[in-house]
Amino acid sequence: MVYSQRKSRGSQRLLLSLLLLVAWESGIGQVHYSVSEEAKHGTFVGRIAQDLGLELAELVPRLFRIASKGRRDLLEVNLQNGILFVNSRIDREDLCGRRAECSIHLEVIVDRPLQVFHVEVEVKDINDNPPRRADSRFPLEGASDMDIGRNAELRYKLQANEYFDLDVKTNEEETNFLELVLKKPVDREETQEHRLLLIAIDGGKPELTGTVQLLISVLDANDNAPEFDKSIYNVRLLENAPNGTLVIKLNASDADEGINKEIVYLFNNLVLDNVKSKFAINSNSGEIIVTGKLDYEDCNLYEINIDAVDKSAFPLTGHCKVIVKLLDENDNVPEMVITSLSLPVQEDAPLGTVIALISLSDLDSGANGQVTCSVTPDVPFKLVSTFKNYYSLVLDSDLDRERLANYDVVLTARDGGSPTLSTTTSVSVEVADVNDNAPA
């Protein structure tokens, strides 16, 4: 009996594994793209959603996501249009070294049902590295000694340091050739100057020495991209802000020097046209200003991707995002729609008879969009709230056409803004006669 249970459970696990394998493999596909190294942020790579046969509307509900080995931020997908684009700097030499083939392998995963797609992006090489020797050598001038013979024989040594070695070669004429050899890359941003002590020692007894100090200045290379203080800036701005209003002043810094640290600010090429129609950026100062009408009811949030590019012949780029959230102003008057149901009203109509239906709306948000309705006093009618922003005008006391045959009922809708905005509408209620009076 025990054996039978174990066998049954093993069969269930095998069946479950087979079902999962079928579900997993049913979504497997492969797509190939290519992109050049050092491509700018936002560079188009491919229409990945379309090429994988996925609808744009299903990307978010199906939890579309990318998994990759190594760095995951090199490529990204815009879930609004299904486009795969360059998200950060791709250096082929850093990614693949000197291998002939270089690719980024991605796995695209969607749920409901589970599907997995393999995407290969070939990274193409560009000529961005000048020829260079394995080490860098700098010739030095040797010392001289007025003595002769062994007393004039010189040997050299370099004071111990982290970056440089001394290489001494002797030719057939017993002449020394000195070269300073760079054994480790230097970083100007870390140390701009290196001071070394070169010592010459003769062959006499006792030995005599001479010293010279070497001052090595490190020249700048454009090896630092501009950096912003933050990756994301959040700004709150009143709607209806006039043109020229300063949104934010961005500041990026670059650790290089000279032209390599001079920065230009630009909208990233992913920035939508409707954003460009509302905002502009000063390329030199980094100031973003309002240039178009801002309406909270039309759009209350803007995302602006900004690039900071240095002026090097081989420029590097830093990125940030500015999120502008508009604050609602009470700039919309409440709207009222009245539907008449029972006009004219019989003078013997029972109390509670519905005369009209009123619906209210306000395009503003928060308290600015909360609307209440009131009716003029001293009329035989009242308002009954049936639902949020919906009212019924009902009969509240008896009517007598012979006393008053017509009522002008004034309805007022007010919002909760400061100052309050309101709208007023008049409803004419006619009282219809019934035979309620005997001849006199």
Strands 345-346 and 422-432: parallel
Backbone angles phi, psi at 197, to 5 degrees: -115, 120
Token pair for residue 431? 């009282």
Task: Determine the pLDDT at residue 174.
Answer: 63
- Exposure string for 193-215, b = 16+ CB within 10 A, e = fewer: eeebebebbbeeeeeeeeeeeee
Neighbours of 368 (CB within 10 A): 22
Give me the phi and psi of 346, to 5 degrees please.
Answer: -65, 140
**CATH C-level class of 20-124:** mainly beta
Report whether 316 contacts 403 (CB < 8 A): no
pTM of the complete model: 0.49
Domain borders along the chain are: 20-124, 136-217, 227-327, 335-432
**Structure tokens given for 363:** 């395009």
CA atoms within 13 A on the CB side of 135: 13
Q: Rounded to an integer, what distance in angstroms lies between the CA atom of residue 344 and that of residue 432?
A: 6
**Residue from 281, 289, 371 nearest 333 by CA:** 371
For CA atoms 236, 242, 243, 245, the dihedral sign is negative
CATH match of 335-432 with 2.60.40.60 = yes
pLDDT digits (tens, 9 = 90+) for 240-275: 899 999 999 999 999 888 899 999 999 999 899 999
Identify the segments of the chain with pLDDT beneath 70: 1-29, 69-72, 130-135, 145, 147, 172-174, 435-436, 438, 440
The answer to whether the 20-124 and 227-327 domains have the same CATH topology is yes
Cα separation, 62 vs 110, whole angstroms: 5
Predicted confidence at residue 20, as pLDDT, reads: 37
CATH architecture entry for 227-327: Sandwich (2.60)
Which pLDDT score is estimated for 234?
96
The CATH H-level superfamily of 136-217 is: Cadherins (2.60.40.60)
pLDDT computed for residue 27 by the predictor? 45
Collapsing DSSP to helix, strand or coil, 12 comes out as helix
